[in-house]
Chains A and B, each alone.
Chain A
């Protein structure tokens, strides 16, 4: 994985000192809260319901064991012993003090980590396919391109006060495991007929209050012009994105209002200009970065397992993913125990996971956008030992992509923007399905819960989505069906009037009843929904 050189280290160190000075000026009074807020946000520091919250960047979701151990240490030293992994492959802490924040950033810098641009109206942490470097279907590892973009976008002098936040995602396969087209810019690394590498640019996707699927605006940007094209796309947005209305300020609105063709025309014009200016890093830089992502030395080994323990066999079936080397798999560590808080991990759990990564996965870990962790490269022969260690730490829930594998935002339990709680719903639903044994019967079903219209819980992209709203001071939940964040991307549709907490849980069960009664052989919930449509579900819910 990528390793900082003296320059990268100097940049994060300088940032720590800059923020230390900014925090000092805030506490001494020369910065007002209005002036300080954008600065602290660009260092990941929010003021939430109970305290400050710090969001730490995990660039393209890749971590090593030393970094995860440092995150565990921070959880204990500065927070309350746990952290929360997010839908953008980051981690956040809920109980942070402003007066500690610079020290935490300094601790992060010691392990080549930071909280740079994890919030604010700037280019956010770059996300990527969590199976990067391990997936059998990738054209190439997308992370070198994500790292190139990370460096370009960090402290970008022109794009630090954009109309609104800006999220990139990079993948390199036909399959989309990173919700690529629901980002402001989604990039797919591809190869053309001549075998040259390039980038497809999808621009103007997003969730939030106006969900949109990004249209393709350029089929092939030569890879040695990647940064220039991104710069052009951003400049058009910075100049013409709406600033009169916060809710219409994302690039998706600009692309929608101009039309994809006109937006593209403007980007191409700016691109031609910027090619003449010369903003692309030297081409050796990409090669230098890529050298950090060379695949580890995989060795041949057993490809079969003793499956006599049914619990182990179920976990293998559910939570492991095919690897490019057939003696290996990628193993998902579920942070979704039945009845648990999606995405939360204690410091002790982080240390267990770090040790497994060190011993069994070439010291590599991933944070998945599904709020789980991943050991990307494990030998099939090591799975029993890994499973045993995970099971002992409460981390072996065999539920990847099932109805228990719920994405949920922090909701009103933590978030100052939320209208309703998300976590209790996730807890009750996962518990209920786990207890009744229906999880396995239902199979793949992606349930996603947001506590407000900002959609951090990706409810628009859920096979079943739940949106919490405030109805006259009480929590109310809207149900939606038919969304997908994958290559078959679609936006979920609302079923009808909302429900209270008990009601929406019952509604989810009813929806699965209809599915089980109607499904054809091998159909996932989403396939059945697409075949039979909304009506039967509506009828069951409201009829």
Chain B
């Protein structure tokens, strides 16, 4: 299958990945194309896209990239949670202006791979992923919250 990698990141660009399966090795399509095209398995969400448009196609998707053109635009966090809440189990990759200090929140929202525009310092990133030993809210991960722990039988 011939692929034009005009959209999306390649496995080489992924710096952190929390999955054991083989990464998708071809480009992504836009949300619009994904909805029109019946065979796309990888899609890229831009900040203004409605992630819910993808819900009918989750079964066939193996990779969803969520682009953060600027780290201050937080729409991608909601997109990620919406997909996970709908049962999406494929790779969810944060790409773009992905920086150290957003990693832990992205992880909680369901991202399991990260392809930052600029490679991040490995030590700083490791520290960032481990910042929160405890969490207050339920999110897209399966971590037990502080309130859950307080009231476990």
Contacts and interface: CB of A to CB of B under 8 A. Distances in A.
Interface of A: 5, 7-8, 10-11, 14, 18, 21-22, 25, 30, 35, 38-39, 121, 151-152, 154-162, 235, 238-239, 243, 273, 277-279, 281-282, 284-285, 288
A22 B101 CA distance: 8
B6 interface: no
Given A151-B146, A158-B109, A282-B147, A35 B136 contact: no
Nearest to A276: B85
Nearest to B47: A243
Contacts of A22: 101
Given A281-B145, A288-B150, A11 B136 contact: yes
Contacts of B124: 21, 25, 30
Interface residues of B, number: 39
B34 to A, nearest CB: 18
Interface string B36-79: 00000000000100100000000000000000000111110110
A151 B151 contact: no
A155 B81 CA distance: 16
Interface of B: 47, 50, 71-75, 77-78, 81, 85, 99-102, 104-106, 108-109, 121, 124, 127, 131-139, 145-151
Contact of B148 (A25, A239, A282): A282
B127 to A, nearest CB: 7
Given A21-B127, A155-B132, A243 B101 contact: no
Contact of A5 (B109, B145, B150): B150
Contact of B134 (A7, A278, A285): A7
Identify whether the interface residues of A are mostly helix, strand, loop, or mixed: helix
Contact of A14 (B50, B99, B109, B133): B133
Contact of B138 (A35, A154, A161, A278): A278
A239 B105 contact: no
Given A10-B133, A238-B78, A284 B149 contact: no
Contacts of B77: 157-161, 238
B140 to A, nearest CB: 8
6 contacts: A11-B134, A151-B146, A161-B72, A238-B77, A277-B138, A281-B148
Nearest to B136: A151
B137 A156 contact: yes
Contacts of A25: 100, 124
B93 to A, nearest CB: 17
Enumerate the 4 nearest inter-chain pairs by beta-carbon distance, A residue then B residue, closest first.
A161-B74, A157-B108, A281-B147, A157-B105
Given A35-B71, A285-B147, 4 more contacts: A25-B100, A151-B146, A285-B151, A288-B151
Given A14-B133, A25-B124, A152-B136, A160 B99 contact: no
B41 to A, nearest CB: 25
A155 B136 contact: yes
Contacts of B137: 152, 156-157, 279
A201 to B, nearest CB: 19
Contacts of B127: 21
A157 B138 contact: no
Contacts of B121: 30
A231 to B, nearest CB: 8
A456 B127 CA distance: 37
A75 B68 CA distance: 40
Contacts of A154: 136
B139 A157 contact: yes
